[in-house]
Amino acid sequence: MDLDADKSSRPRIAVLGSVNMDLVARCARLPMPGETLTGESFAEIPGGKGANQAVAAQRAGGQVAMIGRLGNDGFANTLLENLSGESIETSGIRTTEEIASGLAMITVSNTGENQIIVIPGANGCLSTADVDRAVDQITQATVLLLQLEVPLEVVQHAIRIAAAAGTRVILDPAPVPPELHSVQISGEAVDGLFQVDLLCPNESEASALAGLPLDTPSDVLPVAERLFKLGAKNIVITLGKDGVSWFDGNQLRHFEPRGIDAVDSTAAGDAFAGALAVRWAETGNLEEAIGFGNVAGSIAASRAGAQPSLPHRDELSEMIAIGEGT
């Protein structure tokens, strides 16, 4: 895999989604319902699935524009400066005066498992008008990355604009809202939501959307087939320590995980999506892009924190070179 050939031209990636401050507590294990545990550490770390994927794509070699909403509070400047510090274009981020910025309350165990509660805040105020104001960023991008921490109608509007412009769309359907559990092929909640080039859920999200169990390797194909019927051209399911599976409507292919010990899986999926978007934009080869994203997700899972865990291009190149040499 030649990762140096495209350095002279960074592909344009647009990301529409959430910008949060992550409030992260680490403890030996995750608490049971009603249980109080003593934690080991606490940190405030810039996050949000949208912002995480923007940073992941920028570090992986993209030229990224972020579209989102922040509140008028103490976190907003920190979050905006963080994105600007990554050389991400932030003109598509607007301020909502009356509502605080989004927050995520995250508990991480020593084995890397996590529990996350998201408070949307200003992210819930992102509107179709915001998308229209950022139309050039979407139509000039090779790939648009989307998640579901912002209103569904905004995501649907962005998908329509991107599709009309020929911009590839990757949808990470997280979190899965109640109206999309065991989702039907028609209905207002769907209305083009899955008419994307690539639908990229993790195993729990895929199971929720399909209304089918995904507990064993043999469960992957029926879940992927069910999701494919929703209209996406490709289904890519991230399976944590079990790797990644890709279904294109004809064939199910599996990508084994990289042999890295997991520390914190919080941003592994975001690392995967951002890196995949960049490599797909560079080469047009989805199989290669999935492999690239798989490496990024593995590296991110081996580190603590969300954005601090996201790898840079040189790290990805080094890990891939090591893998190809074994």
Please, are residues 240 and 215 in contact by the beta-carbon 8 Å criterion? no
Tell me the residue type at 190.
V
Options 2, 219, 270, 314, the catalytic residue: 270
Give dist(CA 237, CA 106) in Å, integer. Answer: 23
Instruction: Tell me whether residue 4 is one of the annotated catalytic residues.
Output: no
Backbone angles phi, psi at 89, to 5 degrees: -70, 125
Distance of CA 230 to the CA centre of its chain: 20
Residue appearing with tokens 């400066």: 81
3-state DSSP assignment of residue 91: strand
CA-closest candidate to residue 83, choices 93, 95, 94, 73 = 93
Q: What is the DSSP string of 166-234?
A: T-EEEE---S--GGGTT--SSSTTTTTTT-SSEE--BHHHHHHHHTS---SGGGHHHHHHHHHTTT-S-
Residue appearing with tokens 């047009």: 284
Residues forming the active site: 270
